[in-house]
């Protein structure tokens, strides 16, 4: 199977692998938490989870996506995680600026991008995507946004998580 191709700012870009699909287990990866500690993604997923992946949270669409999911899930009985290549310090500054308390993960070593097939070749950024995972880390919903500068379907992802 060839790797998935999306566009970013209208230009075609290939992903390094094949992202997980519905029914598959989300691959494990090492990510960095807000305190700079290396943690395993699988250790963080203990319940239904919306996993939002953004290229760079300091850009407008990524910021909007993260805020929309943070707001849309704050009163839910499942967790919301957001991952990008941003450093823990960049995430902390962004969360302070937007007055949000949420779990953010940094893929500074690109282990998550490699493991999930979401690293965009030549850009060193993660492809904008959303996954809904059950407590067993099985993908129940996935959206790899075809154009990296477009927003995902918030309502569909939240409805998928609500249904679990």
Known catalytic residues are: 62
List C-alpha distances in Å: 92 to 66, 88, 153. 13, 6, 25
User: Three-state SS string across 25-52, please?
Assistant: ECCCCEEECCCCCEEEHHHHCCCCEEEE
Question: Token pair of 130, please?
Answer: 């959303």
**Inter-residue contact 6 to 146 (CB < 8 Å):** yes
């Amino acid at each position: 199977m060839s790797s998935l191709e999306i566009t970013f700012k209208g230009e075609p870009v290939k992903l390094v692998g094949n992202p997980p699909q519905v029914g598959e287990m989300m691959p494990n990866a090492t990510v960095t938490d807000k305190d700079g500690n290396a943690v395993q993604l699988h250790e963080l997923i203990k319940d239904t989870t919306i996993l939002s992946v953004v290229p760079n949270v300091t850009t407008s669409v990524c910021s909007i996506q993260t805020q929309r999911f943070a707001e849309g899930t704050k009163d839910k009985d499942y967790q919301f995680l957001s991952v990008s290549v941003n450093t823990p310090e960049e995430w902390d500054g962004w969360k302070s600026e937007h007055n949000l308390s949420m779990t953010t993960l940094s893929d500074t070593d690109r282990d998550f991008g490699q493991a999930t097939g979401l690293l965009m070749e030549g850009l060193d950024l993660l492809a904008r995507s959303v996954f809904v995972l059950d407590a067993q880390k099985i993908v129940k919903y996935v959206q790899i946004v075809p154009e990296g500068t477009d927003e995902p379907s918030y309502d569909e992802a939240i409805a998928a998580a609500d249904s679990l």
